[in-house]
Structure 1
């Protein structure tokens, strides 16, 4: 078992500091787990935790041996804790001895003063010690000692075990051959000891003048309620067996108690009193140990009762049975709660919290039938079944039920969808039939049914027909119900939307990106529209900047494509810039599709050409001009055109302006002067014609 497993058995949900070294542990804050440490030949308090309610200490699988005490410091103990919680688990303490047989006790624990704080010693042994103080001193908290052994120890002062100001439980423990001033000492508490052996302990044997108050094997001082059951108390020596204070009482049940020592109530009982007193504060009900053992049927933990959250369960609504089992005492080790319904397979739940009551849950078998059934509860301890079994009855009923799945989709169309798929499941107790309706009008239902008689379940898949149903666009209610031969009816409903199909618009001939003045008189747009509803009227319209438009109306009575062709006239006054064409197609319910196209409208550029030119080369200082005959045409007409030229990329020179009234070509002379600074060699001549919008170049 890992360190964390051991820790979680007692303080689950918190994280400790793991302490595995042989060094003194002294702290006033924190959680500590001392594990597998051997403290030997120590002259100090090995573990000292104090000062904080939140502190938690666990000492496990550790050994304390061969200690030597400082005789001038009687406050030294091996384990000391003040406030917080403390658990000692599988601890061995032995060979505590020193000069003159004086040393310190094993542990002195005073946890926080509340029952919610643990003060445990479990599966531990304290043996062969010779100490000044009591072997164990415990105060406050939830005191529990189980399966401990204190034997062969000799205590100069104090008692074998001290308990004060808290209730304590001691189970399955041995106290053998110990000597001390006192035996078991109780102050202001309720004590419960069972299944223990107290044998051959010597009380007050070193004192020449013993007294009844300090020389008893078992001492209940002020305000104590002590119960001893199923114990063997024999062969002990001392002034008395029991001492019961004036505000306390003690009851011994089913114990074997020898009569070698008297018992006293307060110090007023004479020293030569009879052997056994039965008075108000002391009651010995059974002194036969054999009989006591025979009556101890369940010496570990007994299941007192089981309470269910409820006792009526319904198939389909309830998946689990939950409840609480109550034990007769708080557990100190994990257990497995075993539950079983009738003869169905068992269910096991591991419980690692240490408590006296546990919740449980078991699945209801699918095959469980109508009627009253039995739930049995027991537990196993470390895999060993020592528990008694508690039975509790409950009723299980099967009623007609119907569960309808959500539709595979939320929207349907009459043209595309002729059915609405439905599926679901439920429980049945007699023959039945299924039906379907849309807005409370029953429609045909085709379905496939699957029944499982052994577990009374059914499932189905089917289709509710809407082929001939007069649906308009909107929301509808689909209902599926089951009718039984006994008149029962169960109904489930779901919502769905019915919608019309929208038409499709496809453009096959799109507008060009550029149109020109005079050359382009119109813009052609063509395409197709279609609609699956087969009853639509589509209006297709095209417009240019909302200046001009063309439209056509198409009646659709089938599922096929219907063509349209729109011829838009280009306005004569359209400016030379970018323009927008909007193409829309609208249904009769005003649902529209829209497509947008951008084009540029341009004027035509002038066309310039050379008709005649001189022979080359040209000689400087011999010729003054380069004489050209040009042709100029502008199909736009009414154009004012400037003629420019450049020689070798020089600045432009304007020699001529022409006004053209028609679109016909014009012939004219163009003489380019030769500058005096022109260089010899090849020259490049550019002639440019520019109207008010655009230019042409040769």
Structure 2
């Protein structure tokens, strides 16, 4: 009877994924002179391999495939032989270690950039190898622990698992910089974890958004407009920023004004600023710039071109002559004009156009006044005809800015006898009564009494 002496394995430790077979040797106490059947098994499992061996040696090799359902642990591999007569030998055993490594592979992130407020989480996907039991997925972003929400699918036979889900972005992640999302798996019962896998991403904050209303005019005027009023709305999806709104005229630092608004939500927030117009602003086109910037100097801006102009003088008729005007009696058309210029300190020339002839009879200067009334006589031309014609007035300042044109229809007529009588009657009607002293007034009955007495006296004398 031949007995087995021992069984050995080529390695003391086999690893899942690295070792596909377990190999070793069995030894007899002497040279085996007849063929036999070799049985090899692990633990209480059925024999993995039954080999028919030929005689002629005391040492024989064996090889069995590793099976997926082994977990990490220590196992015993045993062997016996069956002779040709059917008698089974003694059993020999040896212990070996089998390890199913616990590890995780993480896919690249779907995106490399994530936004504050707009992005609430980061999608993660991966796969790994585990030995046994329940596992959990953990993650962190930066130095802050996060929460994994998703699914874990395990295949115990193959020791494989897959994960798909999201890691929530903690509220404390607010700075604009590069961060890492770190993911690892943990056995729930033992607390043993895989190595952590890290993926980098960029976290960026939102730009504020500026919307300007249509309150800005195309043209502003000297002395009339003191401010440029700007209103609108500003928003910022970061929901934790203080926004500074600035307005100024490009090239004029003395025009800058600002307003600060804290934005805690996603709503639009109203703002109003008044940008002072500097005294030294030139009368050309200018750029009005409005900017809004958050705490990390992310900005939005708006610009608009506007004109800054001097004012045109204004003219109006305060008093005009009575019409018709008699060309053979009156010498002048007597007008009183009101002339103004909002710029102040202006030199104004006043013009008239009568019968297609232009004249400039008076020039004035406005110093502290803005408005001035001016007598303006116009000599009646010798060649003027009877009838109606248009008379126009306008003013021009030292910058050649022309005022509005003030028109009036003038009626000319000739002075005749009828007009003379009418004029005399008019003078009589308007003549003041003479006031006599009281002793000049005599009662009427006394007047008749003396009248008849004196008449009779004259008859007697005759």
User: What TM-score comes out, normalization by structure 1 length?
Assistant: 0.37
8 Å CA contact 1:420, 1:463 repeated in 2: yes
Partner of 1:445: 148
- Aligned partners of 1:627, 1:479: CA distance in 2, in Å? 96
Single out whichever of 613-622 and 518-527 deviates more from structure 2: 613-622
Partner of 1:522: 227
Deviation at 1:591, TM superposition (A): 3.1
Distance of aligned partners of 1:414 and 1:543 in 2 relative to their CA distance in 1, 3 Å threshold:
closer
1:472-483 to 2 correspondences below 5 Å: 472-482=175-185
Find the residue that maps to 1:464 and give its secondary structure: strand
Q: Does 1:502 align with 2:204?
A: no
Of 268, 293, 303 in structure 2, the residue corresponding to residue 596 of structure 1 is 303
Of 365, 372, 387 in structure 2, the residue corresponding to residue 659 of structure 1 is 365
- Aligned partners of 1:659, 1:440: CA distance in 2, in Å? 77
1:581-620 to 2 correspondences below 5 Å: 581-613=288-320
Alpha-carbon displacement from aligned partner over 1:13-56 (angstroms, at most 9, x marks no partner): xxxxxxxxxxxxxxxxxxxxxxxxxxxxxxxxxxxxxxxxxxxx
Partner of 1:688: 394
Find the residue that maps to 2:344 and give its secondary structure: coil
Distance of aligned partners of 1:481 and 1:680 in 2 relative to their CA distance in 1, 3 Å threshold:
same
Deviation at 1:547, TM superposition (A): 3.0
1:11-410 to 2 correspondences below 5 Å: 404-410=106-112
- Aligned partners of 2:107, 2:358: CA distance in 1, in Å? 85
Alpha-carbon displacement from aligned partner over 1:433-487 (angstroms, at most 9, x marks no partner): 3333334765332221334678876543212133255553211222334467998
Deviation at 1:690, TM superposition (A): 0.9
8 Å CA contact 1:634, 1:665 repeated in 2: no
Find the residue that maps to 1:692 and give its secondary structure: coil
- Aligned partners of 1:615, 1:370: CA distance in 2, in Å? 123
Partner of 2:60: none
- Aligned partners of 2:229, 2:109: CA distance in 1, in Å? 47
Aligned residues: 304
Deviation at 1:428, TM superposition (A): 6.6
8 Å CA contact 1:414, 1:467 repeated in 2: no
- Aligned partners of 1:482, 1:543: CA distance in 2, in Å? 57
Find the residue that maps to 2:307 and give its secondary structure: strand
Could you tell me which runs of 5 or more consecutive residues in structure 2 were left unpaired when the two chains were aligned.
1-16, 19-66, 70-99, 407-462
Deviation at 1:399, TM superposition (A): 9.3
Find the residue that maps to 1:671 and give its secondary structure: strand
Deviation at 1:537, TM superposition (A): 3.5
Deviation at 1:641, TM superposition (A): 1.2
Partner of 2:169: 466
Alpha-carbon displacement from aligned partner over 1:189-246 (angstroms, at most 9, x marks no partner): xxxxxxxxxxxxxxxxxxxxxxxxxxxxxxxxxxxxxxxxxxxxxxxxxxxxxxxxxx
Find the residue that maps to 1:604 and give its secondary structure: coil
Q: Does 1:670 align with 2:377?
A: yes
- Aligned partners of 2:225, 2:181: CA distance in 1, in Å? 60
Of 575, 581, 604 in structure 1, the residue corresponding to residue 282 of structure 2 is 575
Partner of 1:291: none
Alpha-carbon displacement from aligned partner over 1:563-592 (angstroms, at most 9, x marks no partner): 544333333343333333322333333333
Could you tell me which runs of 5 or more consecutive residues in structure 1 were left unpaired when the two chains were aligned.
1-313, 316-368, 372-397
Deviation at 1:666, TM superposition (A): 0.7
Distance of aligned partners of 1:645 and 1:459 in 2 relative to their CA distance in 1, 3 Å threshold:
same
Find the residue that maps to 2:371 and give its secondary structure: coil
Question: Relative contact order (C-alpha < 8 Å, sep 6+): which is higher?
Answer: 2
Distance of aligned partners of 1:628 and 1:470 in 2 relative to their CA distance in 1, 3 Å threshold:
closer
Partner of 2:74: none
Distance of aligned partners of 1:612 and 1:552 in 2 relative to their CA distance in 1, 3 Å threshold:
closer
Partner of 1:215: none
- Aligned partners of 2:139, 2:266: CA distance in 1, in Å? 30
Partner of 2:349: 642
Partner of 1:60: none
8 Å CA contact 1:509, 1:524 repeated in 2: no
8 Å CA contact 1:643, 1:655 repeated in 2: yes
Deviation at 1:608, TM superposition (A): 1.6
8 Å CA contact 2:362, 2:376 repeated in 1: no
- Aligned partners of 2:264, 2:174: CA distance in 1, in Å? 18
Of 414, 421, 424 in structure 1, the residue corresponding to residue 123 of structure 2 is 421
Deviation at 1:613, TM superposition (A): 4.1
- Aligned partners of 1:468, 1:591: CA distance in 2, in Å? 20
User: What TM-score comes out, normalization by structure 2 length?
Assistant: 0.53
- Aligned partners of 1:435, 1:646: CA distance in 2, in Å? 93
Distance of aligned partners of 1:495 and 1:679 in 2 relative to their CA distance in 1, 3 Å threshold:
farther
Partner of 2:40: none
CA RMSD of aligned residues (A): 4.3
8 Å CA contact 1:549, 1:568 repeated in 2: yes
Distance of aligned partners of 1:432 and 1:651 in 2 relative to their CA distance in 1, 3 Å threshold:
farther
Deviation at 1:689, TM superposition (A): 1.0
Distance of aligned partners of 1:548 and 1:554 in 2 relative to their CA distance in 1, 3 Å threshold:
same
- Aligned partners of 1:589, 1:416: CA distance in 2, in Å? 18
Of 546, 567, 590 in structure 1, the residue corresponding to residue 253 of structure 2 is 546
8 Å CA contact 1:479, 1:493 repeated in 2: yes
Distance of aligned partners of 1:532 and 1:493 in 2 relative to their CA distance in 1, 3 Å threshold:
same
Distance of aligned partners of 1:451 and 1:627 in 2 relative to their CA distance in 1, 3 Å threshold:
same
8 Å CA contact 2:349, 2:396 repeated in 1: yes
